[in-house]
C-alpha cells in the first residue's frame, strides 16, 4: 500500500541513530525499551504529550489511601511513575525499574485486592483481551477502576493509523489476535472494538463493569514529535502549541479529529 511505503521511506530517512539497527521483533526486547525510555526523557515535546496522557491516571489515583494498590500493566517505556509515585510497575520482561514481572493474563494478586489498574497504550497489545478482563474483574476491589489510554477510532484516525507501525483492523470479529510479541503484535482498534463497537457484548460478559468516563485528545502532534523511533519534525514549542490547539478543538468542537482516547471502567460496588 502507498501509506505503508511512505511510512517505510520516512522511517529509513528519519530513524533515530540509536535505533537504526532495530527492526521488527527487535523492538520487543528490553534493550529497545531502555533506549526508548531515554528518548522520552530527551524529547521535550514527546514528554509534554505523555504528561497529558498521564493526567487521567493521576486524577484517578488522587485521594486513595497510602496503602492502595495501584497497578500498571506494561510499564516498559511508560513514564507514569513520575506522576503516580506509589505505582506498582509490571511488564512481561524484566527491567530495573519494575516492581513485578508478570503477565496481564495471570496477575499475582488476591481476589478483590487491587484499587486501580492502569494501561497506557497497552490495551491494543493484549492479544488475549478476555483473559486480561477476567483477571481484572477478579483482582479489582468493588469500586476499583481500570483506566485506559489507547488509540481512538475516529474519522481522522482511520486514515492516520494507516501509516502507523502497529496494525489496525476495525472489522476484527474477536477481541484479540495471534502472536505473542510484546509490542510487534497488536490491533490499534482493540479498545474501540471491545468498549464501543461491541459494548453490548462487553456489558453482557462483564456486568460488574460500567464505562464511566470517555475523553479524547491528540491529532497530529504525536506524529510531529517523531514518537520513539524517528527524529522530531518541528521545534518543541511549536508542537506544544499545536497540541494545545488541537485538544481545544477536539474537546470543544469535534472528537472526530482525535487519535487518542481515555476510558475509565469502574467495577460496581
pLDDT at 55: 97
pLDDT tens for residues 118-172? 999 999 999 999 999 999 999 999 999 999 999 999 999 999 998 888 889 999 9
**pLDDT at 2 > cutoff 70:** no
Backbone phi and psi for residue 222, each to the nearest 5 degrees, phi listed first: -65, -45
**pLDDT at 1 > cutoff 70:** no
What CA–CA distance (Å, rounded) separates 78 from 164?
A: 19
**pLDDT at 41 > cutoff 70:** yes
**pLDDT at 10 > cutoff 90:** no
pLDDT at 216: 98
Residue 60 pLDDT class (50, 70, 90 cuts): very high
With a pLDDT cut of 70, the percent of the chain lying above it is: 98
pLDDT at 165: 80
pTM (predicted TM-score): 0.95
Output the CA–CA distances (angstroms, integers) from residue 69 to 6, 61, 109, in the order listed: 44, 10, 10
pLDDT at 3: 62
Residue 176, beta-bridge partner list: 128
pLDDT at 28: 85
Q: What is the mean pLDDT of residues 86-114?
A: 95
What CA–CA distance (Å, rounded) separates 166 from 188?
A: 7
pLDDT tens for residues 202-237? 999 999 999 999 999 999 999 999 999 999 999 999
Residue 184 pLDDT class (50, 70, 90 cuts): confident
**Into which CATH architecture does domain 2-267 fall?**
3-Layer(aba) Sandwich (3.40)
Mean pLDDT computed over every residue of the chain:
94
With a pLDDT cut of 90, the percent of the chain lying above it is: 82
String of b and e for 228-264 (b: at least 16 CB within 10 Å)?
bbbebeeebeebbebbeebbeebeeeebebbbbbbbb
pLDDT at 147: 98
pLDDT at 49: 97
pLDDT at 183: 80
Amino acid at each position: 500500500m502507498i501509506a505503508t511505503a511512505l511510512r517505510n521511506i520516512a522511517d529509513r530517512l528519519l530513524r533515530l541513530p540509536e535505533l537504526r539497527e532495530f527492526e521488527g521483533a527487535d523492538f520487543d526486547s528490553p534493550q529497545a525499551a531502555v533506549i526508548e525510555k531515554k528518548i522520552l526523557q530527551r524529547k521535550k515535546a514527546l514528554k509534554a504529550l505523555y504528561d497529558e496522557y498521564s493526567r487521567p491516571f493521576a486524577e484517578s489515583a488522587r485521594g486513595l489511601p497510602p496503602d492502595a494498590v495501584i497497578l500498571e500493566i506494561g510499564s516498559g517505556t511508560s513514564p507514569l511513575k513520575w506522576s503516580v509515585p506509589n505505582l506498582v510497575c509490571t511488564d512481561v520482561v524484566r527491567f530495573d525499574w519494575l516492581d513485578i514481572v508478570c503477565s496481564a493474563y495471570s496477575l499475582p494478586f488476591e481476589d478483590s485486592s487491587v484499587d486501580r489498574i492502569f494501561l497506557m497504550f497497552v490495551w491494543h497489545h493484549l492479544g488475549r483481551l478476555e483473559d486480561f478482563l477476567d483477571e481484572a474483574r477478579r483482582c479489582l476491589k468493588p469500586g476499583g477502576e481500570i483506566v485506559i489510554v489507547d488509540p481512538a477510532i475516529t474519522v481522522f484516525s482511520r486514515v492516520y493509523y494507516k501509516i502507523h507501525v502497529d496494525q489496525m483492523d476495525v472489522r476484527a470479529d474477536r477481541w484479540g489476535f495471534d502472536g505473542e510479541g510484546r509490542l510487534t503484535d497488536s490491533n490499534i482498534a482493540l479498545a474501540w472494538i471491545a468498549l464501543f463497537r461491541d459494548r453490548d457484548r462487553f456489558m453482557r460478559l462483564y456486568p460488574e463493569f460500567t464505562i464511566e468516563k470517555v475523553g479524547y485528545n491528540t491529532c497530529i502532534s504525536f506524529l510531529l514529535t517523531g514518537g520513539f523511533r524517528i527524529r522530531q519534525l518541528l521545534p518543541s514549542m511549536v508542537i506544544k502549541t499545536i497540541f494545545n490547539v488541537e485538544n481545544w478543538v477536539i474537546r470543544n468542537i469535534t472528537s472526530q479529529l482525535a487519535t487518542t482516547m481515555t476510558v475509565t471502567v469502574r467495577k460496581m460496588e
